[in-house]
Structure 1
Amino acid sequence: MTRYKTRNLKKMIVRALSVQTFISFGAFYLGVTIYFATVDELIGYESPWKDVAVTSIMATIVLIPAAIVGRRLAQDIVSALPPIAAATHSIASGDYSVRVVAPPNSFEETYALTADINAMAERLEEVQVDLKYWNSAIAHEFRTSSTVLLGNLHGLSTGVIEPSPELFARMIPYVNLLTSMANDLENLDFSRTHKLDLNIKEIDLAVVAETVTASTEHDLVPASIKIKRQFDRAVCLADPERMQQVLSELLNNCRRYAPGSTVTVQTYEDEDWAMMVCVDTGPGMPAAVRDRASDRNWRGSDSSQRVPDGRGLGLAIVKTIVDAHHGELFIDTDCGRGFKVTIRLLKHASGVERI
């Protein structure tokens, strides 16, 4: 990138005014000297118009350099305004991808202003992306939960499903998830799109896993998925509803992308970490694209073919929640050998109320 020598506008104005004053004073002094040395003797007669004419000539001589210096300074200042005005108009119209390029040899203040405008546009662009992601994520969660609830309610209304305490217990986590999503919608604004509200408590991931698997197992039957439980104590500081959401997303991924597989859910403690593992025996994905599996809206080519209506949000939501807890997410997969997700959270995490 070409670097230009910058100029300070304040110093430039002071310098220009000083030069203008010096030139004006010099021109006036020179004019007066010439007048009294030569012109006054040549004209030789007294007239009230003579002084007016001479004064006008002196003023003209003084104003000419002032006008030249002022015009040049004004051009330097105004030259930066058209690109700035065009950029702000585009930003106001909703195009946050625009960036301002200051003209060469602009003033320091111009470079600072364009840098601030570009930073604002960049932040607005990030917010726009985040809002789009969160809207998609919340819609995804609503769609998943409402589908399960609607299926159960339809079964109850037609008599296919008998009402029972176990059935209602399975439905409660989905209702809680909808409540959590409604709170996210209520709290979603421009200043907090990169933040996730958490209700931190001391929880046992084994209890979370038991709750989720018990409520989800029945809904996995149509996909011929069997769940194996290996729950050991795994106490940590976390948001219980968010961790239920994490495991629900993982099991929902298994239902969509690994039908007919056996899913093993594990919880245990490993030194300073509380661990939760979900591994299936499905087709998995190539190891070469493993690092992109949790990217927003990214889907492997084979996944797109097998599940055309997917949106690539499940693992992205999981990663967002785990990151909010300052935890770690590991994905281990290989084509034809299953898909394994490992989540580990610190037993005594600090500063996880909000990111």
Structure 2
Amino acid sequence: MDQLNKQFDELLRSIKPVSREWEEKAWHRLKAQIRPRGSLGQLEIIAARLAAIKETLALDLRRKLIFTMAGDHGVASEGVSAYPQEVTAQMVYSFTQGWASINVLARHVRADVKVVDCGVAADLPAEWPILHRKLAKGTANMVNGPAMSREMAVRGLVLGAQLVQEAHSKDRYQLFGTGDMGIANTTPSTAIIAVLSGRPVAELTGLGTGIDTAGLARKIGVIEKALDVNRPNPKDPLDVLSKVGGFEIAALAGAVLGAAAVQAPIVCDGFIATAGALIACEIEPVAKEYLFASHRSHEIGHGAMVQRLGLRPILDLDMRLGEGTGSALAMGIVEASAKVLQEIKTFQEAGVTDAEG
């Protein structure tokens, strides 16, 4: 545990604020381009943020990677999902075959996908082309006590960070995305935002995979009971993660910290991935400077998450799938923003008269 804590502390110490100097250089160029000032709106804001992160105007984000973190949850036994738990492993298999939603959308934006078994409640075949990093076969049922130990929460965080750091250093990926797979994982995600925001569970709980009205009432009751039993401390994000989180949520949080540590932009997917991102930014607020919210999830609690993060989602398409699908689509916008900064000529470069002198 001492070595693990040392790794975690080193990770946090390696995260530094982005460069305001390079952000200003980016804005200087954006305002000098051959078009009306501010005419590309959010693309300009994203571009300036990217320059601040990478400390250059010569942005190259062609190497894109999405981590789809998979894990199961003991709370699934409480009937909070419309699907049985074995679907998690079945969907992981679908990812390996390339026929799932994330595969299609990632191919569209020329992003790679790596599926990570963080805690699927089944023995997945060693020959499956995934990253086998199982912490345990699913979390404990948070209704009866903590979902995991504090040590396991830290292990999940370190796992996610190391995955990003290795992909950046060894395979030269420059833009990362996060996604999830785990039956019942909207339940711990709702619990996380309920604790951190202090808002009533009923205001934040959605239908997840499509439960009915009775299922929604049951889900609200389960979350309320779990919070009453565990009493997670909102001022201690590790306590929140360990008591009501998931192994894949821990890894998703770690991925955000890992991206910040290597000065790489990272795009988080919807409700579950944003729960992970929220934990990361509660642990180390500077990590938010490297984070982009891919889309506004149709899940009811997501709005409270992005509001707490202070981020504007790039897309709003009524999506609520997960897997990294929102990340994939938003990556195209992020990469386009990088090209806006680099490739649009300035008035001086193009020999065009500037209306503003």
TM over 0.5: no
What's the TM-score bracket when you normalise by the shorter of the two chains? Answer: under 0.3
Query: Normalised by the size of structure 1, how large is the TM-score?
Result: 0.20
Query: Normalised by the size of structure 2, how large is the TM-score?
Result: 0.20
> For the pair shown, which has the larger CA radius of gyration, 1 or 2?
1
Give the structure with the higher percent helix: 1
